[in-house]
Structure 1
Amino acid sequence: MPPCRTSCTWPRWPPPRRDAKTPGRRASRDPLTQGRTGMERQTPGVGRLMRAGAMISVPAAATVLGLAVFGWVSVGAAVGSVLLIWFLTALLLRFAFRDLLAVARHLRGLAGHLGEDPAPEPAARLDIAQSLLNAGRHLDRSWRRRELALREQLTSNERLLDTLPDPLLMLGADALITRANGAARALFSRVLTGQEITTVLRDPGVLDAIEGVLEKAPSRQVTWVMPGPVEREFEVRATRLPARGVDGSLVMVTLHDITALRRLEQMRADFVANASHELRTPLSSLIGFTETLATSAREDSAAREQFLAIMLEQGRRMQRLIEDLLSLSRIEMEEHTPPSDPINLREVIGGVARFLEIRAREKNMDIRLEGEDAPVVVIGDGDQLTQIFQNLLDNALKYGRPSTPVVVRWTQVERGPAAMPAAVRAPCLRVSVIDQGEGIAKEHLPRLTERFYRVDKARSRAMGGTGLGLAIVKHVVVRHRGAMTLESEIGKGTTINLFLPLYEPTLG
């Protein structure tokens, strides 16, 4: 056998369909709906009907011819009878075929346009044709009900996906995004359906995990850091679906934001390290001076007086730190139990200002109270409110320039910031503590309420700060269902705004 001169290929399966519209291919033939050339034949040809009539009339014709053979009827009458039987049979077949063909065309139309408005039913005179029409009508109604249920289920699933807080992407076998929920669209700020996953998630580790799941791995999980002005960290999980979805979905990719968790873990680690350091430093000083006094400086009265003063200062520093830690712990335990007592905030602020008046005079500073003279009643805890305003005014006196005022201003606002619960947001009270110090750079403002965070650590420790003051203020304000904002400008000073819910609208 000579070798094949053309390239040989394996036949495709399933083989391609042949239809009348494709050049060079034979038209498919359906005995119910098509003649020799397809749907263009509306009724069977005359020859075909005559042949069918002849086949059906053979028994009757044989009977008549038999009668003619035995002489019971004349030959002419027999031949005429046979021809009449043949013609009538063909005529009846024509009417029957026409009904069946009309029904077949109608059913084919239903099959091709299920769920749409069907074409008018043809008139059917035969019982079998009417039965077929009834079956088609029942099939169409069943399909409509099923299609409606599927559409409702699909809409429900899409709404459910859109309510999920985590971004979710569905991928096909070609790594194209077939579906994305609302959180994913908001995260990437663009239309995602139809895009390649490589244009959305460019991290090699994420793409390797998705590729592994597309290659039959059941699930993969990696961590991805989303670049931007503020980096966000996500836990990306790619999971293979048990079956391919109707839209071709094969892999589900979820992105869980763990930025807050990582930040909390870092804050806990920093807290342990900072607390250990803050306690270790004065404790080491106390031990060192005690050992010195017990040995070489035992008889030196001048050194003894100096060391005792330092030891007293370090002991008080440890005392302040421990008191602040215990206070912060108590506040955190009560954070989910909001206070309910009416507190005259003007009296609280006035009492704190009088308490710190002597310290203000030491720097030639004064504390100015600006607001309505009428009582300002808020919902709160008197001791905790006193503590936070003492912390705020103490900081303002420490870091404000000498001979400048510290202003405490309160006023009612129509609506508080979004961080406040909606039920107490309008109206509320805004209290501003304003100093004229050196100011704080903007990059430090978001972290000022973290435990032990200091802009200038050496200066803060020298002034007796523990690094917990603003953390205490923040947690007290949160317990009071309020909000806190910070504003600062280098060279001009700092403003800390507290928003607290009013017991009743007493101002204005």
Structure 2
Amino acid sequence: MAGGALAPGIGLLALGACLAGALLVAALWIGNLGRLAEALRRAAAEDGRLVPPSGTPLLPAVAEVAEGVARLARTLAEQGALVGRLRRADEAIVESLPDPLLVLSPARVPLRANAAARAIFGVTTGGAGDVAALLRHPALAEAVDRALSERRPQAADLVLPVPVAREIAAQVIPMEPALADGGRIVIVLSDRTRERALERMRADFVANASHELRTPLASLIGFIETLRGPAEDDKPARTRFLGIMAEQSERMRRLIDDLLGLSRIELVEHQPPTGTTRLAAVARAELAALEPLLQARRMVVEARLDEAALAAPADAEQLAQVVRNLLENAVRHGREGGRVGLSVATGEDGGKRAGVVLEVADDGPGIPAEHIPRLTERFYRVDAGRSRSAGGTGLGLAIVKHIVNRHRGRLVIGSEAGAGAVFRVWLPGRAEAASSRAAA
């Protein structure tokens, strides 16, 4: 009876021990899994590397799981690092491409632009800057439509008239699948302005040179024939003819120099200058160089030069050419023994943008109103005979116009017949350039 009574108690004790052992193992597993979960959370929140839980050793099975997870985390981290390196390499390649590149969203919002695109079009994110005018161009918009609908690359030739004329070849490439930043359209631009300008320069140079050089060449040939014939022994005639030949030769030299200078300016007109220029110092230097011509025509220059007037961005050499051409124009066409006004000051243009104003005025016969719009055309002369006799080539104001265009400035000519002429050039100044950068 006693043994039968003890059997249930022993069974209950054994069951209790089993339950206690099971609870202990369960608690140990739960503790191990909790520590592993905490380590996984830390790895996910930091750099992805799994650091084994500290403290008592893990159960073998849990330790094996932790080691497998750690290997997986290391593999994923290595793959992530590789993807990052490849992406940075791709971005570096795109950034260093010489041609401008834009990436657009499906809604045609600029997402990315490389350095070449930023240099030409300014800020692009959200369509700001010159890129907005580019994307509105009908030819490019049509090419983007075709690329999205046909899912094939498209090409387009564009002419952007502002801020200076620019000729661009565009390649529109649809991306399937989309890029990592959501870009669906890649536009690669190639600026053909310089090549087209070079082609026109060659054609214009031949046409203009052949036309303008014909008269002085004919004069030289005629005088040479006369000196070799009837005037061979006529010393007074020979002296006079040689003087005329020297004048005609000098005229041809100036003409060729101005043609070449104008062509060089047109080649870079679409590229804004860099640097800053103190316009007063430039004007003073050009005024000193012009002193012999002023003395020959017995003219006086009244100069008002503001030393604080700073043009930026600006090409000092080209701005010196603007001052030189305007002063020479005023001296050659002003009244002999008269006065020339020269001023440099800070001022605003019509759009209230701060900048620098250069003004040159003469007291000559003035310019009839119907001629003013055409004064900056090549070889356009109000009075061709008077202009040639004064030593002009007909290219000075054309050169001024193209230089001012390159500097994103404005040239305004005011005159009345019999009341002289005023040439006013506005150029962006330091304050205007700084505000533009701030707005960007």
Alignment TM-score, normalising by the size of structure 1: 0.46
Structure 1 residue 222 and structure 2 residue 151: aligned? no
Larger Rg: 1
1:192, 1:109 → 2: CA distance?
A: 41
AA aligned opposite 1:406: R
Where does residue 454 of structure 1 map in the other structure?
380
Compare the two structures and name the one with the higher helix fraction: 2
Where does residue 506 of structure 1 map in the other structure?
none
Q: Matches of residues 259-278 of structure 1 in structure 2 within 5 Å?
A: 259=193, 261-278=195-212
Describe the superposition over 1:83-139 as per-residue Cα deviations: whole angstroms up to 9, x where unpaired.
457435533442244235435654775687675999x97987633445655776787
SS at match of 1:200: helix
SS at match of 1:319: helix
Residues 220 and 238, structure 1, Cα contact 8 Å, conserved in 2: yes
Describe the superposition over 1:265-284 as per-residue Cα deviations: whole angstroms up to 9, x where unpaired.
43442222111122345667
Residues 124 and 130, structure 1, Cα contact 8 Å, conserved in 2: no
AA aligned opposite 1:180: R
1:114, 1:389 → 2: CA distance?
A: 64
Where does residue 306 of structure 1 map in the other structure?
none
Measured after TM superposition, the shift of residue 247 of structure 1 is 1.9
Percent same amino acid at aligned positions? 25
2:104, 2:322 → 1: CA distance?
A: 52
Where does residue 249 of structure 2 map in the other structure?
319
**Would the alpha carbon gap of residues 167 and 187 (structure 1) be closer, same or farther in structure 2, given more than 3 Å must change?**
farther
**Would the alpha carbon gap of residues 84 and 496 (structure 1) be closer, same or farther in structure 2, given more than 3 Å must change?**
closer
Where does residue 31 of structure 2 map in the other structure?
99
Question: Over aligned residue pairs, what C-alpha RMSD do you find?
Answer: 6.4
AA aligned opposite 2:422: T
Describe the superposition over 1:112-171 as per-residue Cα deviations: whole angstroms up to 9, x where unpaired.
7675999x9798763344565577678779978987997899789879978988653213
Measured after TM superposition, the shift of residue 368 of structure 1 is 1.1
Select the residue among 22, 26, 30 that pairs with 1:90.
22
Select the residue among 366, 386, 391 that pairs with 1:438.
366
Residues 213 and 238, structure 1, Cα contact 8 Å, conserved in 2: no
AA aligned opposite 1:191: G
**How many residues were matched structurally?**
346
**Would the alpha carbon gap of residues 390 and 100 (structure 1) be closer, same or farther in structure 2, given more than 3 Å must change?**
closer
Describe the superposition over 1:5-59 as per-residue Cα deviations: whole angstroms up to 9, x where unpaired.
xxxxxxxxxxxxxxxxxxxxxxxxxxxxxxxxxxxxxxxxxxxxxxxxxxxxxxx
AA aligned opposite 2:414: E
- Larger RCO (CA under 8 A, 6+ residues apart): 2
Measured after TM superposition, the shift of residue 80 of structure 1 is 5.8
AA aligned opposite 2:203: A
AA aligned opposite 2:209: A
**Would the alpha carbon gap of residues 169 and 117 (structure 1) be closer, same or farther in structure 2, given more than 3 Å must change?**
same
Alignment TM-score, normalising by the size of structure 2: 0.51
**Would the alpha carbon gap of residues 397 and 349 (structure 1) be closer, same or farther in structure 2, given more than 3 Å must change?**
closer
1:198, 1:278 → 2: CA distance?
A: 39
Structure 1 residue 254 and structure 2 residue 188: aligned? yes
Select the residue among 294, 309, 314 that pairs with 1:353.
294
Where does residue 490 of structure 1 map in the other structure?
415
2:288, 2:22 → 1: CA distance?
A: 112
Q: Matches of residues 25-104 of structure 1 in structure 2 within 5 Å?
A: 83=15, 86-88=18-20, 90-99=22-31, 101-103=33-35
Select the residue among 102, 108, 111 that pairs with 1:169.
102
SS at match of 2:189: strand
AA aligned opposite 1:127: L
SS at match of 2:422: strand
Where does residue 55 of structure 1 map in the other structure?
none
1:262, 1:403 → 2: CA distance?
A: 43
- Unaligned stretches of 5+ residues in structure 1: 1-73, 294-310, 336-342, 358-366, 373-386, 416-429, 478-483, 500-508
2:147, 2:135 → 1: CA distance?
A: 18
Where does residue 6 of structure 1 map in the other structure?
none
Structure 1 residue 200 and structure 2 residue 135: aligned? yes
Select the residue among 279, 282, 306 that pairs with 2:213.
279
**Would the alpha carbon gap of residues 137 and 433 (structure 1) be closer, same or farther in structure 2, given more than 3 Å must change?**
farther
Residues 166 and 191, structure 2, Cα contact 8 Å, conserved in 1: yes
Structure 1 residue 467 and structure 2 residue 394: aligned? yes
2:384, 2:146 → 1: CA distance?
A: 52
2:181, 2:125 → 1: CA distance?
A: 20
SS at match of 2:26: helix
Measured after TM superposition, the shift of residue 207 of structure 1 is 3.4
Structure 1 residue 405 and structure 2 residue 330: aligned? no
SS at match of 1:224: strand
